[in-house]
């Protein structure tokens, strides 16, 4: 097997093995009730990986693979927004005043980021030769910009929210933030490369 193909499979498989480990630890420590969205996201990502890997290995065709990828990407995006809400709920649960401040602040930040993300996604260039690929990529970029902005806001106010490095919520937020930034970069590259 060529080295590049071996690296491709390693980068595709290794993160999902880590997610299987995370799901196992969450089951063993009974953390599912505390972080149900994160557990659902972790399990779905492993399922999605198996589904897309099987589709790739059985060569189902570009259009069918794209349709399958699109559906799983939408579900994954919804689950990531659920994780962000879960993080905010965990932080707000310790302080009643913080809960009253966070809800409107989160709503306005979401509206502002959504407008900015839509404007940026629409006016950004990219390969428009395949319309469905372009639309999917644009929606993906919009959601990632929104998620990155919300998580950046969370980290900016981390001291006020008493979010420490040792907190599980911080680890989840940091991991999701790193994922969103890396995925945003790859989505921008993909938009230029095309279908």
Cβ neighbours of residue 173 under 8 Å, at least 6 residues apart?
87, 151, 154, 155, 163
For residue 192, being part of any structural domain is answered with: yes
For residue 37, being part of any structural domain is answered with: no
For residue 55, being part of any structural domain is answered with: no
SS3 state at 92: helix
For residue 18, being part of any structural domain is answered with: no
Position 17 scores a pLDDT of 94
Q: Which residue has the higher pLDDT, 44 or 77?
A: 44
Is the pLDDT assigned to residue 94 strictly greater than 70?
A: no
Q: Between the CA of residue 68 and those of 13, 55, 65, what are the distances in Å?
A: 18, 9, 5
User: Which DSSP helix (H) or strand (E) runs through 35?
Assistant: none
Position 57 scores a pLDDT of 84
Instruction: Provide, rounded to the nearest whole percent, the portion of the chain with pLDDT above 90.
Output: 24
For residue 46, being part of any structural domain is answered with: no
Is the pLDDT assigned to residue 178 strictly greater than 70?
A: yes
What domain range includes position 169? Answer: 96-195
Instruction: Tell me the pLDDT tens digit for each residue of 18-73.
Output: 999 999 999 999 999 999 999 999 999 999 999 998 998 888 888 888 889 889 98
For residue 138, being part of any structural domain is answered with: yes
Instruction: Tell me the pLDDT tens digit for each residue of 115-141.
Output: 877 777 667 666 666 777 777 777 777
Residue with tokens 């969450």, as numbered in its chain: 26
Burial code of 123-142, b = ≥16 C-beta within 10 A, e = fewer? eeebeeeeeebbebbbbbbb
Round the CA-based radius of gyration of the chain to a whole number and report it: 18
For residue 65, being part of any structural domain is answered with: no
Position 19 scores a pLDDT of 94
For residue 76, being part of any structural domain is answered with: no
How many domains does the chain contain in total? 1
């Amino acid at each position: 097997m060529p080295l590049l193909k071996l690296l491709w499979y390693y980068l595709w498989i290794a993160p999902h093995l880590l997610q299987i480990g995370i799901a196992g630890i969450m089951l063993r420590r009974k953390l599912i009730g505390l972080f149900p969205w994160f557990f659902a996201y972790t399990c779905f990502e492993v399922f999605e990986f198996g589904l897309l890997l099987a589709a790739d290995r059985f060569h189902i065709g570009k259009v069918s693979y794209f349709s399958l990828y699109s559906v799983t990407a939408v579900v994954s995006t919804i689950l990531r927004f659920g994780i962000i809400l879960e993080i905010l709920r965990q932080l707000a649960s310790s302080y009643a005043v913080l809960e009253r401040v966070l809800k409107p602040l989160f709503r306005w930040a979401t509206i502002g980021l959504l407008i900015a993300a839509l404007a940026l996604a629409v006016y950004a260039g990219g390969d428009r030769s395949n319309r469905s690929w372009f639309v999917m990529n644009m929606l993906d970029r919009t959601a990632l910009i929104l998620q990155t902005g919300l998580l950046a806001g969370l980290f900016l106010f981390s001291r006020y929210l008493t979010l420490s490095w040792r907190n599980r919520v911080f680890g989840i937020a940091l991991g999701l933030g790193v994922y969103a930034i890396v995925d945003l970069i790859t989505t921008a590259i993909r938009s230029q490369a095309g279908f």
